[in-house]
A = this chain, B = another copy of it.
Amino acid sequence: MPSSGSSRPAIPSRVTLKDVARLSGVSEISVSRVMRDAPNISKKLRDKVNEAADTLGYTPNRVAGALKSKSSKLVAVVLPSMSNEVFSQVLDGIEAILAQHGLNAVLGLSDYDPERELRVIRELLSWSPTGIILTGLHHNETVAKMIAQQNIPVVQIMDIEGTPLQSAVGISHTKAARAAADYLVEAGYRKPAYIGAWSERPERSHARRIAFEIRLVELGAPLVTHRIAPERSSALVGAEVTAELIKSHPDTDCVFYANDDLALGGLFHAMSAGLSIPMILQFLASTGSKSGKRPRSGCPASKHPASKWERVPLNCCWRPKPRAPRL
């Protein structure tokens, strides 16, 4: 109990470093170091502090720490929306790894609106995150400048075709679409069609379709037709558009869907219309459990076997400090 007034119940004001320091008879900074698991702490001190902290039920105040160190254990994650299954899986993966490093995700959704995305990024940056994850590679100058000011790592996901601000993790939508075209033609299909939705809003789907079409022409099996629904993608739209497409182009022998839910709808239509769907088994197989622990080699956050240490850029662990060059 940090402060106990005698007159009345007293506000159980937050337990701070100071309280722990007082109880354990060491300096505040030492408590701070123990809590952060810094290197070069004697076991004796560590034990003393931990005991006091447990007794008081101390929880570090990350806000104060972030203010002083100008970097928090938060990672800004900016996604376009949660409606697309892809992004919930992405977020799941992000969170899993962040958690292993004691980091937390602060989420921002742009709803595919660049202006809104800008606002969201600005908002999230005001939390001094230790890094930021953006979706896509198309970000304007303002974004670049804002992020540069904070000097934090940026990872852009979902796309790798273009120039990333720093680093990009994703797939080449062009190559993916070409691979799909190759696969279909090799499998013997010659009358491919394409179904997209929401007017191809996320540019990535447009890039995919174009690459798909070009490759098909190269392979001598050009697209029979394509449909881009104006609505957002959904299983219902997928089913309806598929029905219409098959009806007006009965010679179509395969369909490339821009989205998983569109494909699902198409699948429903095909099944109920009695069409043969040779790939359904593959689909089912790929719908298997998405969970399971993903082991990941991280930096050894709590082991400091050697001598001199420094924070690594990600700020989540320590590494040996390079020996300073003598003059």
Number of interface residues of A (CB under 8 A): 64
A contacts, CB < 8 Å to B? 12, 14, 59-64, 66-67, 72, 74, 81-83, 85, 87-89, 91-92, 95-96, 99, 102, 104-109, 111, 120, 122-128, 146, 149, 231-237, 239, 261, 264-265, 268, 271-272, 280, 284-285, 287-291
Contact B88 A288 (CB under 8 A): no
Q: What number of copies of this chain does the assembly contain?
A: 2
Determine how close the nearest CB of chain B comes to the CB of A262; give it in whole angstroms.
11
Asked if residues B92 and A104 are in contact (CB atoms below 8 Å), the reply is no
Chain A to chain B: the 7 pairs with minimum beta-carbon distance, closest first: A88-B88, A82-B92, A235-B287, A271-B271, A62-B126, A232-B289, A63-B66
Question: Judging by beta carbons under 8 Å apart, are B108 and A82 in contact?
Answer: no
CA distance A144 to B62 in the complex (A): 20
Which residue in chain B gives the minimum CB-CB distance to A290?
A: B83
Q: Are A268 and B280 interface neighbours, CB within 8 A?
A: yes
What are 12 residue pairs bridging A and B, where the CB atoms are less than 8 Å apart in the complex?
A: A63-B72, A63-B126, A81-B92, A82-B95, A91-B107, A95-B107, A105-B106, A232-B291, A233-B289, A237-B289, A265-B284, A272-B280
* Bound-complex Cα distance A12 to B151 (A): 11
State the CA gap A146–B74 with chains docked (Å): 21
Contact A288 B125 (CB under 8 A): no
CB of A261 within 8 A of CB of B287, answer yes
A34 to chain B, nearest CB (A): 16
Q: Which residues of B sit under 8 angstroms from A72, Cβ to Cβ?
A: 63
Which B residue's beta carbon lies closest to that of A90? B82
